[in-house]
Chain A
Amino acid sequence: MDESERSRLLYLLDALRVAPQKSEKLIAVVAREDASEPFRKAIEDLRKSADVARASAELRESLR
């Protein structure tokens, strides 16, 4: 995952923190077919998670 993708993920996590109820819509904003494998996996994990807040916090920690 390059720095651009890392930034995009962090912006997504910022948005999820303030509007978790819109997770599906927010995730759709950043999801891209041509993204790197780690980026797509991170998005997929968020999308599938039953607890977006916890998944977001874990992802943020991994990007710290």
Chain B
Amino acid sequence: MGRTVADVLEEISGRTAKQVVRSLGKWPPDLFAATAAVLQESGAYRPLVSPPGAAVWPPSNPSVWCDEVQELARRWVAWCDDNARGSGPIAKRVRTLFDLILGWSLEDLSTEANWSKLAELLTLSAVADEACAGVGLDSSAAEGSTYRLMANDRLASSGTLSTLPVGRIRVLPKMRTPQSGISIRSVSHHVCCIRGEVGVTWRRRDFPKRGEADRLRMLLFPWPLQVAETDFVPVEGPLKNLDTTKFGFFSFEPKYESAQLYSTFERVLRNAKNAADPIDVVVLPECATTEAEFEELWQRSSAAGVHMLLAGVRGPSSNEARLRLGVTDPTSVLQHKHHRWCLEESQIRNYDIGSSLSPSRRWWESMNLPPRELTFIAFNDWLTLCHLICEDLARIDPVAQVIRAVGPTLLVALLLDGPQLGHRWSARYASVLADDPGTSVLTVTALGMALRGSRPNRTIGFWRDAKNDGKPLVLADDAEAAVLTVWAERLEEFTADGRTDHGLAGRIVYGGLMQVRGA
């Protein structure tokens, strides 16, 4: 016999399956973790859209089933909210099911003979999901406010909503429900499960904004505006086991004067505000500034009334995206790059940097690789932001899995890359995320790099949302920056089991691009 339901529960909890089952009826994120882990490993969510044999989903009239799920979730939340006295409204049902199926192999869950038990498992998963509605966000529902605060407090403290060990399984808020294909992510509206090496930090911030409540204006400042071949410098790398005739390390060391950056930034900021005030956030590409320069830009930005700055910060052996935000007590959120850039012959020739780096060797970016961490910032009920650096957008590794599971409404990728044309890699990966889970993606690169390609081009960014075709963000010949305006929309999404979110899903869509002229 293959792995059993009990094996999965023991793996995610570090306790015996029977111990776990006794606690699952107490806390909705824990039941969600258990059901999602079993459904994901067994693939038994698939029968939701393709029931075995003569089986029918849902097990009762569709609207009756949805109402029952909602009502049970409501009673469970009320019970949690009211000090969780006694055994609670769902505990007996959870124990009855799991006591029966603990010894089952995962393959057996999806058979026609066991359909009623699988239907019950799917129903309990739906109840747990509904009981997690609004967690992680600024929820306006008074009912269940204590319970939601308990969940959010746990989330902000430990990076999970669940009481199960975070090293084994993590339960996070979920923003988007994929509306195509069928995966475990199709089964829930409000929460998702993550397993693996990626550490997750969840933050709540008020958006330091003015102006339209559903609008976001981003000043894209594609610094450096020029990049020379000598900005790519061979350096001694951290690895001594590489054949130096085949491999090398490089660092990116642009040669501009800091004073030139500051004066250009001030001019751009002033002109941008004249054209499109208020600006909500300034975005600079990967490796655009040093740490000291970032601080200087922040001073200028906040003095001009823009209280959010996102920029790539380069160091001797570091490459990070730094987000600074706040009016009265600003703080920073750091995102390290998870993958080294590897420059090989075709890129070296394309960017015409062969006088600095030999095309016959592969050159790795000289930077440390800290543990993989991802930060999500929940600003309001339509804006949950995640930011990444360059390669990390493209790699199908655990970080991408986490982003797909959570489905932040906006992902900003800072790049040091060529022009952001629709056929290039960054646009392709942006489209993948816009399609599933529905995350809107902005990429921003340095104008200096966009102009270095064999076909120089002033496309400094790319915007992709789930509603519209991708938008290459092209800088006019006489412009130094551009202001991208995007808008929040609501849309109705459905889970694979047939539940609606009542039109509460948030989506961010393209508005327009204004040029910021240099004069």
Contacts and interface: CB of A to CB of B under 8 A. Distances in A.
Nearest to A30: B153
A33 to B, nearest CB: 14
Contacts of A12: 149, 153
Most buried by A among B145, B152, B202, B327: B145
29 contacts: A3-B201, A3-B203, A4-B156, A4-B203, A6-B205, A6-B331, A7-B202, A7-B205, A8-B152, A8-B153, A10-B205, A10-B206, A11-B153, A11-B204, A14-B139, A14-B149, A14-B204, A15-B148, A18-B140, A19-B145, A26-B145, A26-B149, A29-B150, A61-B328, A64-B206, A64-B326, A64-B327, A64-B328, A64-B329
B345 interface: no
B63 interface: no
A48 interface: no
A3 to B, nearest CB: 6
B146 A15 contact: yes
A46 B150 CA distance: 18
B146 A8 contact: no
B138 A14 contact: yes
Nearest to A28: B146
Given A4-B203, A8-B152, A30-B153, 14 more contacts: A11-B156, A11-B204, A12-B149, A12-B153, A14-B152, A15-B148, A18-B139, A22-B146, A30-B149, A60-B206, A62-B329, A64-B206, A64-B208, A64-B329
Contact of B146 (A3, A10, A29, A60): A29
B328 A63 contact: yes
Interface in B133-162: 138-142, 145-146, 148-150, 152-153, 156-157
Nearest to A18: B142
Contacts of B327: 64
Given A12-B149, A30-B153, A3 B331 contact: yes
A10 B205 CA distance: 7
Contacts of A8: 152-153, 156-157
B84 to A, nearest CB: 13
A15 B206 contact: no
B145 A18 contact: yes
- Which 8 residue pairs of A and B lie closest in terms of their CB atoms, listed nearest first? A7-B156, A11-B152, A19-B145, A7-B204, A15-B149, A18-B142, A10-B204, A64-B327
A8 B142 CA distance: 18
Provide the main secondary structure of the chain B interface: mixed
Contacts of A6: 203-205, 329, 331
Contacts of A4: 156-157, 203
A22 B145 CA distance: 9
Contacts of B139: 14, 18
B333 interface: yes
A4 B205 CA distance: 10
Interface residues of B, number: 27
A64 B209 CA distance: 10
A25 B146 CA distance: 7
A16 to B, nearest CB: 9
A63 B145 CA distance: 21
Contacts of B206: 10, 60, 63-64
A15 B138 CA distance: 8
Interface in A12-48: 12, 14-15, 18-19, 22, 25-26, 29-30
Contacts of A26: 145-146, 149
Most buried by A among B140, B206, B328: B206
Contacts of B157: 4, 8
A11 B204 CA distance: 7
A18 B138 CA distance: 10
Most buried by B among A4, A12, A62: A4
Contacts of B328: 61-64
Contact of A19 (B142, B202, B203): B142
Contact of A63 (B146, B201, B329): B329
Contact of B149 (A3, A29, A63, A64): A29
